Amino acid sequence: MSAPQEPLFVARETFRRRRLMDAARLLPVLGLFLVLLPMMWPAPEGEAPRAAREGVYLFLVWFGLIIAAAVLARRLSAVLNGESGTASGEGEM
């Protein structure tokens, strides 16, 4: 019989913390994509651009990004403050 090996999976708290950190890192990229998205909408032919619709869209994206950042910050601070002891060198340089 061989000696017991280390588990292949990381602890649940570590996994969730890493995914929250990944989401926080990707939020600006998602925001940039959503802000630039109206430029890819087809322009109506023979009409003036619908500035009001695009303005409302940009305001909603902006508001959604603020809410998403607040939720991520709250969850990350709860996870990081709830840790006991120090991290095992993850993310430190």
Q: What is the pTM of this model?
A: 0.69
List the domain range (segments joined by +) for residue 75: 54-81
- Rounded-to-5 percentages of helix, strand, coil across the chain: 65, 0, 35
For residue 7, what pLDDT is reported? 66
Residue 65 domain-assigned? Answer: yes
Residue 62 domain-assigned? Answer: yes
Whether the CB-CB separation of 79 and 16 falls below 8 Å is answered with yes
- What one-letter code names the amino acid at 43? A
Residue 20 domain-assigned? Answer: no
SS (H, E, C) 34-66: HHHHHHHCCCCCCCCCCHHHHHHHHHHHHHHHH
For residue 17, what pLDDT is reported? 86
Residue 8 domain-assigned? Answer: no
Residue 68 domain-assigned? Answer: yes
* pLDDT tens, residue order, the chain (93 aa): 676 777 677 777 888 888 989 999 999 999 999 999 988 888 778 776 678 888 899 999 999 999 999 999 999 888 778 754 444 445 443
Count the domains in the chain. 1
Residue 91 domain-assigned? Answer: no
